[in-house]
Amino acid sequence: MTGVGGGSLMTPLLVLLFGFHPATAVGTDLLYASVTKTVGTAVHGKRKTVDWHIVAGLALGSVPAAIITLIAMYHWGATGTKGPSVLNLLLGASLLLTSIAIFFRPVILRWAGPRFDHLEAARINHWTVLLGALLGVLVSLTSVGAGALGTTALLILYPRLPVARIAGSDIAHAVPLTLIAGIGHWMMGAVDFGLMGALLVGSIPGIIVGSLVATRSSDKVLRAVLAITLLVVSIRLLLS
């Protein structure tokens, strides 16, 4: 219905409502996302709404950052007894940023867009790699950020590109990022494949229903509802 919310809502719901260890919720959601994003990339690729130059720039930063983050998580024992409190804090902070990005996206774009519109291509490329690195760290830790935060940042960096091309590029970049991060969590024993299968089975009718409802719903209303939901969940996680 909104284009975002898979990782943003999935992970905290698995933690808060179903009691999964945060690392397991993150790892399972990452591998789940790698499958759904692959399908989305195939659709966008067929429609030629993927800018592979942007995807390559993002991946140049995100893939090494994700690997380094996963190694650090392993050494810090993120799946152990001390991991949940830290991961909940990081997840709550990420959701808070995501809710702000969703709710205030038009304001953010109006303010930041002109400041990046006239930058040289080389500097835009550098910012793209840096954005990828930030997303690599954030997504590996929390599975949140590639959707709302990544899309908003890309809209700022590439204001002249169609929104569909921005969305397609963001989805295509999420495939290698979520796959590598998901495999890393799997190697740490933080993936529940039974849960992943159930999520995939449920997502198919969910996508169909959501797509039908979205065409009859106001974008402003959907954005506000999602932002408020994420804000409430982020506060719950930060206080837990």
Q: What is the DSSP string of 62-85?
A: HHHHHHHHHHHHHHHTTTSTTHHH
Identify the band that residue 130 occupies on the pLDDT scale cut at 50, 70 and 90.
Answer: very high
> Of the given ranges (144-158, 193-207, 223-237), which has the lowest mean pLDDT?
223-237
Average pLDDT on 203-226 reads 69
Chain centre distance of CA 220: 21
Q: What is the pLDDT of residue 97?
A: 81
First-to-last alpha carbon distance for the chain, in angstroms, is 29
Identify the band that residue 167 occupies on the pLDDT scale cut at 50, 70 and 90.
Answer: confident
Q: What is the pLDDT of residue 233?
A: 75
Identify the band that residue 196 occupies on the pLDDT scale cut at 50, 70 and 90.
Answer: very high
* pLDDT more than 90, % of the chain: 25
43-81 per-position pLDDT tens digit: 888 888 899 999 999 999 999 999 999 999 888 876 665
72-126 per-position pLDDT tens digit: 988 887 666 555 677 778 778 877 887 887 778 778 878 776 767 677 888 889 9
Contact, 169 vs 122, CB < 8 A?
no
Indicate if the pLDDT at residue 218 is higher than 70: no
Tokens for 139? 């997504």
Q: What is the pLDDT of residue 215?
A: 55
Cα separations (Å) of 238 from 21, 73, 78, 93? 16, 20, 17, 7
